[in-house]
Chain A
Amino acid sequence: MSHLVVEKLSAAYGKVPVLQDIDLSIERGEIVAIIGPSGSGKSTLLRVLVGLLRPQSGSVTVAGEVLQYDNPRNLRKAREKFAIVFQQFNLFQNMTALRNVTIAPTVVKKRKPAEVEAEARALLEKVGLGHRLNAYPDEMSGGQQQRVAIARALALKPEILHLDEVTSALDPELVAEVLDTVRLLAADGMTMMIVSHEMGFVREVANKVMFMAEGRIIEVGPPEQVFDNPQTERCAEFVGRILRH
């Protein structure tokens, strides 16, 4: 059975439907990229999975376990499966890089501080920030902050890591350092769902590309198919427009 299975998932903001009948599956260690025009529901899909927006119907299964989003206890269990890195980093502004990484494992998971700190140092070292452990978010560049955010997400040891347009808020010269970090995770076999506008990068790292529009998945396939030989008109039009730039 696939690592993540989503069936008939629908969600709405008030009365406006934003996700309709989403079906998808991801194997362990697979990297799935979601592309599509803005407002197509890519980020919303991630927000639903991590429990920031309650689904209306459908089911989500991770490693054979069905997730419920209906009450706080189930919500907590669902969120344990995932970690998310946001477009705007969302680092806690009142904490150092190191504290940002250690806070959830110590406070939420009640693990031993010494053990967590050692892990956090290793993670920050891995994303290339071993020298900035005690820096506060506003003392770091966007690229550095985003790498701290990735380390923070990894510290939660998620089954699946969601990256929500992690390079969109960065100055062009800082994009590469973050993408390098993501490549590192890919090499480690991390299961990831990536919402991205970096088509070159998507083509390089993704095993599977999903094209979304108006809250639906229009086309799914390996990158070569979606980019070079799209099967649907909507996807062809979108890809054509993006790649021409």
Chain B
Amino acid sequence: MHIVVCIKQVPDTKNVRIDPDTHTLVRQGVESIINPFDMFAMEAALKCKDQSGARVTVITMGPPQACEALRDTLGLGADDAVLLSDRAFAGSDTWATATTLAAAIRKIGDVDMIVCGKQAVDGDTAQVGPEMAALLDIPYATFVKKIEMEPNGSLRVVRQTDEGVEVWKLRLPALVTVIKEIGDPRVPSLRHKMRAKKTQIPVWGVADLDLDPDRTGLCGSFTQVVHVFSPPRRSSRIQLEGSTENQAEQLFQYLKKSGIPGL
């Protein structure tokens, strides 16, 4: 059993702020973290490894410094890591990202399961996982909260929907995207961290993946950002005053006037 986990480095949103003059995102000095949902993906893969001795490989597409994130996942217990890094990957939309990741999965070869986080917290698209599965022509399940290995080369998953939960059986190879309920990420162990220090992390570029540079990065993207701006400010807050009963009365009247259902 070989599991590949796809991760992304994202700016730590705790520190993201908007420049009041240019209304753009200030990324300078903002620390990078592993996308929180990808930490759940790591946990899901490592749980499978605990149970069935699966091999876990972690991949990410990003700048050279993304190597740090990969080393952190080795510290958690992943066996191998590969960095996909090339100038030609810059500016990728979800399609171009999925194309690049799918090429890496093909190069790795014997992959039985791919685990991704539900979405990255910077872009919030939740598209790369399903697009990658489509490109690899494998089945997938999104918003998964529980994974069980079945003996006959299939996977039993519980997925969260807007209406409740669904239990699905997927034929392997397959891809899953996971949510928080899969389990809290473990902490790195000293043994794994020692090994992580010594592990070589190969870097693959366009040539290694046998990709046409015109099909990667911004040139290979179908969507294009034409305008970035600050969200309109919320109308200024109304602060309710007076006694508790008085405040309750005011709030009731305001909400009634706004046409809130149930009032």
A and B associate? no
A contact residues vs B (CB 8 Å cutoff): none
